[in-house]
Amino acid sequence: MSTDPPLKELALHNITVRFGGLTALDDVSLRVAPGRIVGVIGPNGAGKTTLFNVICGFVPPTSGHLTLDGQPWRPRPHQLNGLGIARTLQGVGQFGGMSVLENVMVGTRGRRAEAEAMAALTRCGVDRYAGARPGALPYATRKRVELARALVAKPRILMLDEPAGGLDADEIQWLASLIKETGTTVLLVEHHMDLVMSVCDEILVLDFGKPIALGTPEEISKNPRVTDAYLGAAA
């Protein structure tokens, strides 16, 4: 078991990210309080994955900073697990040379690794594929394996980047229940408004990198700027 102090709070303070002339994130602040399910939504290209990558340490902010438990924090990808932060990436990034079970065991350590990996696969409804190669499985099944790999570490903060992408309505329903049941802090980056509306306590809406709204699902669904951003993207 981890002996790290419990995470209290992850926060972004005035984060801006520029890629050359393109501003992917423009002065974004967000507090992810413990136990909360916080969503980040926005049309394609809004900066959701960039925000995710900033927290994972893949993309350094051009300006602004992050804090963990109120302390300035510079995230590094290889330190996330040790801090109790687990993530799934957009798409499915599994190791083709290993079985499903071995892929999930990568997310955990110790004597009980195999039993815990099996339990995570069972929880995600894919234990019967433990011996299979991920590449041979349908996309939705691989997404469940990816979730199992994140959950097996019993993270304090679970970060999900577009977990609903490529899933049908039933799969999304299942995903919504799983997210609500995890009992951990969740940062959910997602394009699907319905999923985010049904599971999140709080939602940040990005449009071309700019934070245009922050509030409860009810507040967000009534916000004309949000509807405009989505209708604008669909047009």
Ligand X SMILES: Nc1ncnc2c1ncn2[C@@H]1O[C@H](COP(=O)(O)OP(=O)(O)O)[C@@H](O)[C@H]1O
Q: Please give the residue ranges that form the binding site for Mg ion (CB under 5 A).
A: 48-49
Nearest partner of 171 among 150, 153, 192, judged by Cα = 192
Q: State the nearest-atom distance from the C-beta of 20 to ligand X, in Å.
A: 7
Nearer to ligand X, 42 or 84 (CB): 42
Residue by residue, DSSP assigns 125-187 as T-GGGTTS-GGGS-HHHHHHHHHHHHHTT--SEEEEESTTTT--HHHHHHHHHHHHHS-SEEE
Minimum distance of ligand X from residue 51's CB (angstroms) = 7
> Which one among 39, 42, 155, 211 touches ligand X, defined by CB under 6 A?
42
Distance, in Å, from the CA atom of 97 to the CA atom of 89, rounded to the nearest integer, reads 19
Among 24, 104, 137, 150, contact with ligand X (rule: CB under 6 A):
24
Residues 46 to 105: which contact ligand X by CB under 6 A?
46-50
What is the CB neighbour count within 10 angstroms for residue 198?
A: 15
Nearer to ligand X, 52 or 129 (CB): 52
Sign of the C-alpha dihedral computed for residues 20, 23, 27 and 28 taken in this order: negative
Rounded to a whole number of angstroms, the minimum distance from the CB of residue 80 to ligand X is 19
Contact (CB, 8 A) for 102 and 120: no
Q: What letter does residue 5 receive in the DSSP assignment?
A: P
Does 165 engage in binding with ligand X (CB under 6 A)? no
Stretch that binds ligand X, among 37-45, 74-82, 125-133, 212-220 (CB under 6 A): 37-45
Tell me whether residue 60 or residue 138 sits nearer to ligand X (CB atom): 60
Q: Which residues bind ligand X (CB under 6 A)?
A: 19, 22, 24, 42, 44-50
